[in-house]
Amino acid sequence: MMTMKRLVVWMAAAGLSAALTTAVVLYLQGFNEHGLGAALFVTGRLAFLAFWPSYCGAALVIVFGAAFVPLQRRAREFGLAFAAIIAVHSLLVLWLTLIGAPPGRTIFLEFGIALGWTVLLTVLSFNNLHQWLGRRGWRAVKFLGMNYIAYVFALDFTRDPFGGGLKHWLEYVPFAVLSIVGPCMRLLAFLQRRGELATIH
């Protein structure tokens, strides 16, 4: 029960933070296409900052050691916080679409698939529903979903990270670097574990 309450608190706090941030951005930038674009920009980065620890926590422990165990233990909470922020982000996309300024078709499709994976992983995270898939099934679904979401983030952040001036660099380059480092950490962790298993056998 306490675990469920904690997860709900994390989701509520993340969703509320994203909603308040959105409200501030819209107030400052305007309740129009420009303001919505700015709010999407901010909530997208907030979502990534919640997603990254969930995606890389376990890998960081394997590669760098016990210092990252607290991050690994909160991987589920960070993942659900990400889902809550993405819910706010999705409402902004819907708002843009309703006023006649939807994202491009390719971006819309990429985001839609990532949103579908986010919903599926979120649902399966509650009440041990993932147990219905079995251990291997859940690991496969989680692997595919998390890596696709990471892929979509990487596509967004690496499209043109070095274009524009210093402001553009600060807005894109740190996130582009993290979006590349994440999969690299997971690959290193996989290779390290595989090497340890080979040594044991």
| Dihedral sign (CA 185, 49, 37, 152) | positive
Cβ proximity of 74 and 57 under 8 Å: yes
Identify which of 82, 85, 10, 49 has the alpha carbon closest to the alpha carbon of residue 174.
49
Residue 198 CB-half CA count within 13 A: 6
CA gap 180, 150 in Å, rounded = 9
| Tens of pLDDT, residues 141-187 | 999 999 999 999 999 998 877 777 788 888 899 999 999 999 999 99
Please give the Cα distance from 85 to 11 (Å, whole number). 8
The model's pTM is 0.92
pLDDT tens readout for residues 64-103: 999 999 999 999 999 999 999 999 999 999 999 999 998 8
